[in-house]
Amino acid sequence: MTGALRIPDGLTWLHGVPGGPEWLAGLPGRLAACARRWSLRVGPPFGYAFASLAVPVDLPDGTRAVLKLQFPDAESEHEATALRRWNGDGAIRLLAHDPELRALLVERCHPGTPLHALPLDEALDAVVALLPRLWVPAGQPFMSLAQAAAGWTARLPITWERAGRPYERRLLDASLDLLAGLAGSQGEQVLVNQDLHAANVLRAEREPWLVIDPKPLVGEREFSVVPMVRGTELGHSRAAVRRRLDRLSAELGLDRERVRGWTIGQTMAWSIDGGQVFTDHVEVVRWLE
């Protein structure tokens, strides 16, 4: 890559968070350091970005890969460990990792078409085939779902107040009640991905579909389909949300009411960020009440 590094628009929000401006300013240096360390030929960044800079790279032997430079948030801290644990079985392979730089060198998906390019039911077929392979036993160093739920429960009332009480108190209360009840009554604990939506599953050559960008937790299987149920990528309507809930629960052998409860709980917890209210999240909760 020649010339100045162009930061994708999706990362500009980091100018307003602690440590964000410094991280953005340091990206060219970290990118150059990684290129030297791994002898990479670097292309222009991918346009889609939110919490990391991702660029296509070629290794010295011609292998196509992706270099990912993460903003140091807690949710992505153990992404490399999760990819190692899956070892390419349903997810992209980790090729190299520099924890100090928060840099991951990972397998590149080609052609990289996102799962949401498929019609709803074909996409759900792919999810049903893929997810059980990712439910592997796990423990440390991953955060537990119970710990994450405790954090959501503590933060949500505060963010709701600061945002000016943007939706009904009953939705807030329902979410808090569900999170409290579900967290302490979970089934078998496996590795789950709290960001497994249809833009994070890509068409590949090695396998038909591979998962990218995991935000790993250890929790029960029912939680793992929450991002697919909630996500707008496969259609944002009452009918589409309920279709995803019903099919994924039934065909993966999951407790539908627990899936519904986790979806309401985490979707409410993620409905406000930095004062911004995500109305699509609120609509999903109303459709699932």
Buried b (16+ CB within 10 A) or exposed e, 128-137: eebbeebbee
CA 88 to CA 86: how far, in whole Å?
6
Residues composing the chain: 289
Closest by Cα among 52, 55, 34, 35 to 44: 55
Q: Is 195 tagged catalytic?
A: yes
Token pair, residue 237, equals 């309507």
CB 152 within 8 A of CB 265: yes
Give SS3 for 190. strand
- Tally Cβ neighbours within 10 Å of residue 22: 9
Backbone angles phi and psi of 202, in degrees to 5? -120, 145
Closest by Cα among 108, 266, 114, 256 to 178: 266
Q: Provide the 8-state DSSP code for 247.
A: H
Buried b (16+ CB within 10 A) or exposed e, 164-188: eebbeeebbebbbebbeebbeebee
Tell me, what amino acid is at 145?
A: L
Check 58, 61, 195, 213 and give the catalytic one. Answer: 195
| Secondary element (H or E) of residue 203 | strand 201-203
List active site positions: 195
